[in-house]
Amino acid sequence: MADSPKETSKISNDLDTFPKLLLDHAKKRPNKDAIREKDLGIWQSWTWSKAAEEISALANGLASLGFKRGDKLAIVGNNRPRLYWGMCAAQCLGGIPVPVYQDSVAEEIQYVLDHSEVRFALVEDQEQVDKMLEIYDNCPAMETIIYDDPRGLRDYDKTHLHDFEKLQDLGREFAKENPDYLLQEINKGSGEDIGIFLYTSGTTGKPKGVVMTNNNILITARNSVKFDNLTENEEIVSYLPMAWVGDHIFSYAQAYVTGFCVNCPESTETVATDLREIGPTYYFAPPRVFENILTTVTIRMHDASKLKQKMFNYFMGVARKTGVDMLDGKQVTAKERFLYWLGNILVYGPLKNTMGFSRIRLAYTAGEAIGPEIFDFFRSLGINVKQLYGQTEAAVFITMQPDGEIFADTVGIPAPGVEVKVNDDGEVIYRGPGVFHSYYKNEESTKETKNEEGWVLTGDAGYFADNGHLKIIDRAKDVGKFVDGTMFAPKYIENKLKFFPHIKEVVAIGDGKDHCTAFINIDLEAVGNWAERNNVGYASYQELAGHEEVYKMMLESIEQVNKDLSTDSLMSKSQIHRFLILHKELDPDDGELTRTGKVRRRIVAEKYGVLIDALYNGSKDCYINTEVAFEDGRKGSIEATLRIEEAETFTPAPATKGAN
Amino acid sequence: MSPLFLNALEVILNGLMAGIMYSLVALGFVLIFKASGIFNYAQGVMALFAALTLVGFQTGQVPFAHLINAMFGTEIHHWGSGMNTFLAIILTMIVMIIFAWLLEKIVLKHMVNQAPIILFMTTIGLAYFMEGFGDLMWGADIKTMDVGLPSGGSIWLEDFTKGWAAEGTEYYGMYIDVLDVWAAGIAILLVIALTLFSQYTKTGRALRAVADDHQAALTVGISLRTIWIIVWSLAGFVALVAGIMWGSKSGVQFSLSLIALKALPVLILGGFTSIPGAIIGGLIIGVGEKLFEFSIGGMIGGATENWFAYVLALAFLMFRPQGLFGEKIIERV
Amino acid sequence: MDQDNRIGDTLLEVKNISLSFGGVKALTDISFDIKEGEIRAIIGPNGAGKSSMLNVINGFYHPQEGEVWFRGKKREAMKPYQVARQGVARTFQNIALFKGMSTLDNLMTGCITHMKTNIFLQAIWKGPAEREELEFRERVEHIIDFLGIQAIRKTPVGRLPYGMQKRVELGRALAAQPKLLLLDEPMAGMNLEEKEDMSRFILDVNDVFGTTITLIEHDIGVVMDLSDRIVVLDYGCKLADGTPDVVRNDQAVIDAYLGVSHDD
Amino acid sequence: MFYRESGDFKTNYADDQQSFPIKLDRYAVWILLAFAFFVVPFFINDYWEKSVLVPFLVWSMAALGLNILTGYCGQVSLGTGGFMAVGAYSCYKLMVAFPGLNIFFVVILAGLITAVVGIAFGLPSLRIKGFYLAVATLASQFFLIWMFNKIPWFYNYSSSGMITAPERTMFGIAISGPSAPSWATYLFCLTLVTIFAFMARNLTRGRIGRAWKSIHDMDIAAEIIGIPPLQAKLSAFAVSSFYIGMSGAMLFGVYLGSAEPGEAFGIDKSFLVLFMVIIGGLGSILGSFLGAAFLILVPVLMKNIMVGAFGWPADLAAHLELLFIGALIMFFLVVEPHGLAQLWRMTKEKLRLWPFPH
% chain B with pLDDT above 90: 4
CB within 8 Å: B318 and D151: no
Q: Does residue B330 belong to the interface with chain C, where contact is any CB pair within 8 Å? A: yes
User: C150 touching A, CB under 8 A?
Assistant: yes
Asked if A37 is an interface residue toward chain C (Cβ–Cβ < 8 A), one would say no
User: Is any Cβ of chain A less than 8 angstroms from the Cβ of C123?
Assistant: no
Q: How far is D227 from chain C (nearest CA, A)?
A: 6
Burial class (CB in 10 A: 0-12, 13-18, 19+), C29: middle
From B117, B131, B317, residue closest to D76, measured CB to CB: B117
Which of C186, C103, C201, C109 shows the shortest CA–CA distance to C144? C103
A155: phi then psi, degrees, rounded to nearest 5: -95, 10
> For residues A545 and A522, is the Cβ–Cβ distance under 8 A?
yes
Task: Tell the CATH topology of C1-87+178-264.
Answer: Rossmann fold (3.40.50)
C74 to chain B, minimum CA–CA distance in Å?
25
Which of D138, D278, D326 is opposite residue B264, by nearest beta carbon? D138
SS3 letters for A407-457? CCCCCCEECCCCEEEECCCCEEEEECCCCCCEECCCHHHHHHHECCCCCEE
Chain B partners within 8 Å of C92 (Cβ)? 333
- A16, pLDDT greater than 70: yes
What confidence score (pLDDT) does residue D65 get?
A: 97
Cβ–Cβ below 8 Å for D128 and B318: yes
Mean pLDDT of D299-310: 85
Q: pLDDT-derived band of residue B211, with 50, 70 and 90 as boundaries?
A: low
Shortest Cα distance, chain C CAs vs residue B331, angstroms: 10
Compute the distance between CA of residue B211 and CA of residue B203 in angstroms, rounded to an integer.
Answer: 12
pLDDT at C259: 56
Of the candidates D14, D216, D221, which has its C-beta nearest C100's C-beta? Answer: D216
For each of the domains in chain A, give its residue range(s) and CATH number, in order of start. 5-213+241-271 (3.40.50.12780), 478-646 (3.30.300.30)
Nearest-angstrom CA–CA distance, A435 and A361: 28
Predicted local confidence at residue C2, as pLDDT: 46
The domain limits of chain C are 1-87+178-264, 100-175
The residue that leads in pLDDT, A207 or B145, is A207
Q: How many domains does chain B have?
A: 1
Nearest CA in chain C to D216: C98
Chain B hits for C184, CB-CB cut-off 8 Å, are 333
Minimum Cα–Cα distance from C144: chain A residue? A40
What was the ipTM of the complex prediction? 0.83
In a domain, B94, yes or no: yes
**Secondary structure letter of residue D256 according to DSSP:** I
Name the neighbours of B, counting chains with at least 3 Cβ pairs within 8 A.
Answer: C, D
Residue B327 in domain:
no
Distance CA D104, CA D63 (A): 20
- What was the pLDDT predicted at B171? 66
Q: Which of the pair, B146 or A230, is modelled with greater confidence?
A: A230
Annotate B177-194 with b (16+ C-beta within 10 A) or e (fewer).
Answer: bbbbbbbbebbeebbeeb
Q: What's the pLDDT tens digit per position in C112-161?
A: 999 999 999 999 999 999 999 999 999 999 999 999 898 899 999 999 99
Interface mutation target, options D24, D348, D354, D358, chain A, most CBs of A under 10 Å = D354
Residue of chain C whose Cα is closest to the Cα of D235: C119
pTM of structure: 0.86
Note the pLDDT of residue A52.
97
Per-residue pLDDT tens digits for B98-150: 998 898 888 888 877 777 777 888 888 898 899 889 888 888 788 887 777 77
Helix (H) or strand (E) holding A42: strand A42-47
* Nearest-by-Cβ selection for D203 from C98, C105, C123: C123
**Bridge-partner residues for A622, per DSSP?**
A642
- Spatial CA neighbour of B210 closest among B191, B195, B192, B228: B228
Q: Between A and D, how many CB-CB pairs are < 8 A? A: 74
| Average pLDDT of the residues of chain B | 80
Dihedral pair phi/psi, residue B126, rounded to 5°: -60, -40
Task: Report the residue of chain C nearest A153, measured CA to CA.
Answer: C208
Give D121-130 pLDDT, tens digit per residue.
898 888 888 7
Looking up residue B152, the CATH number of its domain turns out to be: 1.10.3470
- Dist. CA A636–CA C223, nearest whole Å: 35
Contact: chain B with chain A (3+ CB pairs below 8 Å): no
What's the pLDDT at A145? 96
**Rg of chain A on CA atoms, in Å:** 26
Q: Is A154 an 8 Å CB contact of chain C? A: yes
Instruction: Report which of B2, B7, B3 is spatially closest to residue B295, judged by C-alpha positions.
Output: B7
Chain A residue numbers touching C153 (CB-CB < 8 A)? 41
- Residue B118: give the domain boundaries: 3-319
Residue D307, classed as helix, strand or coil, is helix
Interchain proximity B131–D322, CB inside 8 Å: yes
To test the contact with chain B by mutation, choose from D70, D77, D146, D269 the residue with the greatest count of B C-beta atoms within 10 A, namely D146
Q: Cβ C144–A266 below 8 Å, yes or no?
A: no
Give residue D288's identity as a one-letter amino acid code: S
Q: What pLDDT score was predicted for residue A12?
A: 44
For residue range B156-172, what is the model confidence (pLDDT) as tens digits? Answer: 777 777 766 666 666 66
* A176: Cβ contacts below 8 Å, ≥ 6 apart: none
Nearest by CB: A301 against D7, D12, D356: D356
Q: For chain C (length 264 residues), average pLDDT per consecutive 10?
A: 68 93 87 94 87 91 92 90 94 91 95 92 92 95 92 91 93 95 91 90 90 90 91 90 90 73 44
pLDDT computed for residue B331 by the predictor: 61
Structural domain includes residue B325: no
Local structure of A312: helix, strand or coil: helix
pLDDT at C258: 63
Which chains reach chain C with 3 or more Cβ–Cβ distances below 8 angstroms? A, B, D
Q: How far, in Å, CA of C157 to CA of A519, rounded?
A: 47
pLDDT, one tens digit per residue, over A550-591 is 999 999 999 999 988 887 777 788 899 999 999 988 888 788
Contacts of D239 (CB under 8 A, 6+ apart): C119, D65, D68, D69, D115, D200, D203
Cross-chain residue pair A269–C151, CB shorter than 8 Å: yes
B77 domain-assigned = yes
Chain B contact probe: residue of D67, D78, D129, D132 with most B CBs at under 10 A? D132
In chain B, which residues have their Cβ closer than 8 Å to the Cβ of D141? 310
Cβ pair C96:D226 closer than 8 A = no
Average pLDDT over residues A282-289: 92
Do B248 and B149 touch, CB atoms closer than 8 A?
yes
**B309 found inside a domain:** yes
Structural domain spans, chain D: 45-266
The yes-or-no verdict on residue A4 having pLDDT over 50 is no
Distance of residue D350 Cα from the nearest chain A Cα, in angstroms: 11
User: What's the whole-number average pLDDT of chain D?
Assistant: 91
Residue A360: pLDDT above 70? yes
Beta carbons of C141 and A41 less than 8 Å apart:
yes
Rounded to 10 deg, the angle between the A334-343 and A306-327 helix axes is 130
Kindly list the residues from chain D whose CB atom is less than 8 angstroms away from the CB atom of residue C129.
202, 206-207
Of D13, D210, D218, the CB nearest to C137: D13
Please say whether the beta carbons of A544 and A529 come within 8 A. Answer: no
Of A295-304, B100-109, B294-303, the range with the lowest mean pLDDT is B294-303
Q: Taking CB atoms and an 8 Å limit, are C141 and A269 in contact across chains?
A: no
Contact between A304 and D6 using a beta-carbon 8 Å cutoff: no
pLDDT of residue D306: 84
In a domain, residue B326? The reply is no
Round to whole Å and give the CA distance between D57 and D185. Answer: 11
Task: Point out the least confidently predicted range of A11-25, B162-176, D23-37.
Answer: B162-176
Residue A41 with chain D: CB contacts under 8 Å: 13, 16
Neighbours of D87 (CB within 10 A): 36
pLDDT at A657: 41
Q: Do D206 and C133 touch (CB under 8 A)?
A: yes
Query: CB–CB of B333 and C21 under 8 A?
Result: no
Residues of chain C with Cβ-Cβ distance to D203 below 8 Å are 119, 122-123
Residue A529's pLDDT is 85
Q: How many CB atoms lie within 10 A of CB D302?
A: 17
